[in-house]
Structure 1
């Protein structure tokens, strides 16, 4: 008895479906395994400072002196934590208004010319290597601060300004997508009630898209928090809490990159650097949870 054409066509489709499911499952397992392996490796190395070398967590987080190879060893990471948070938050405060204004210009004021000329330029900034940003900051921003403000020009302000340019595309892209997804009827209703363009933008558009805009800011802070090379070139890398924005400072990433090649695996100094990496990873998780919470508010 001959088989029907429908059954002959159904079997290849069924086989392709199973192949697709198995391939997707393998990709997911590989991704989950990779993430879990990275978390386990960093956590095991970072916790060795406390369980193997006997260091104190409170001293690490609140200490002001960093000398893991000294006698006695001092593991005070507060200057690095302060430097990372201060540069990242200040960079977000600088980049957020510029990003919002650029997004409003591209979507609400001049959508044709804005998206044609401004958006490609902003997206181009995301593809520039971080070492180029650091070199530009060292050649332009640092001399400018040195001539205008007291000090050598390197410090929190220079690092934050360089980071603000680096995170500008991230915040702008998310803000642009949020403004583009806004229902047209919402703005048209505002115009129908007699509101001007600026009243509509300030009282309708921005408050409605605020959760998405905050998501962009948090992602920008996370991007700045993990940046190493560009900040390292302009911040001065001094392990102390600065008294002004124009004094040398250091961050978690710069402390790791400067010392990672000068320590022996398994030593206290090496484990202390892994502890700094663990702090970075935990802060990344915090930023991810904040983004998910903001997305949940946007969905509700």
Structure 2
């Protein structure tokens, strides 16, 4: 009994220490990025409206014009554009693949397809970037106006990259459904497709949407794959097939060329703060969807 009490006390202590370290790290990262990012508006006195909605990004002129040349709207627009388009492309395909694996494919097909999907999830993003650079960009260059780099190429690369994530989460959501609801639908005379469309998808919808949101969260924070195919032009694109840029690509390309504490460096930290806030938003959305899924389960 005494040994059991000691083991329980040690386990509780280790758990408390682990949670405390995790909370400290999260708070420290949030504080560091927020303090650096907000310096742009409080220390450098740059107008937040000009920063968020301006389209002129010219750091070499920013010191002279009071920071009006730190216009990040083109990067913000690029990040949201590639993320939303990628989700529109990969969402239906990923959910459709999950439905095929759970309801249509034979048992041997599920055993083959599930490991393949999990393998695709683990492929490094640079591989997807090379595929886009070697296949998608030349295709757009030959069949559309422009150099092939742009939001369209970035969106397709991201769609391919996040589709396995969406498929994996959607597969788990569909497999977790109680078998009696499908049997009840068949008992009422519904066909397989009526059961899928009218019963399974509405019931598993919170879980399916969670997969889409997880994919969007990965797409919004992706840097390397998008950077290789989007063109990295610091302007607001007038076409999906013209070069553009995203928040992550700007950070990876320019952060190493700035002086810590300068207005240029602080402006890049402000972009990092936007990424952090969007990550928090996606996490909150996933939590809300998960709570809704629990309510449906009850």
TM range, smaller chain: over 0.9
Contact in 2 for aligned 1:235/1:250 (Cα 8 Å): yes
Q: Which residue of 2 aligns with 1:263?
A: 258
| 2:33 equivalent to 1:39 | no
Q: Which residue of 2 aligns with 1:18?
A: 9
Q: Which residue of 2 aligns with 1:91?
A: 86
Unpaired runs of at least 5, structure 2: none
Written as runs of structure 1 = structure 2, the 5 A alignment for 1:205-216 is 205-216=200-211
Out of 44, 58, 61, which is 1:67 matched to? 58
Q: Which moved more, 1:109-118 or 1:99-108?
A: 109-118
Per the TM alignment, residue 264 of structure 1 is displaced from its structure 2 partner at its CA by: 0.5
- Computed over aligned residues only, the root mean square deviation of the Cα atoms, in angstroms, reads 1.0
Find the counterpart in structure 1 of residue 195 from structure 2.
Answer: 200
Match of 2:107? 112
Count of residues in Structure 1 that have an aligned counterpart in Structure 2: 291
Cα displacement (A) at 1:113: 2.6
Correspondence for 1:152: 147
Residue 288 of structure 1: how far off its partner (Å): 1.0
TM-score (norm 2): 0.96
> Whole-Å Cα distance in 1 between the matches of residues 91 and 280 of structure 2?
22
1:1-300 paired onto structure 2 within 5 Å: 10-70=1-61, 71-72=64-65, 73=67, 74-300=69-295
Q: How many Å apart are 1:299 and its aligned residue?
A: 1.7
Whichever of the two has the greater Rg, that structure is: 1
Q: TM-score, normalised by structure 1?
A: 0.95
Distance 1:97 1:12 in 2: 54
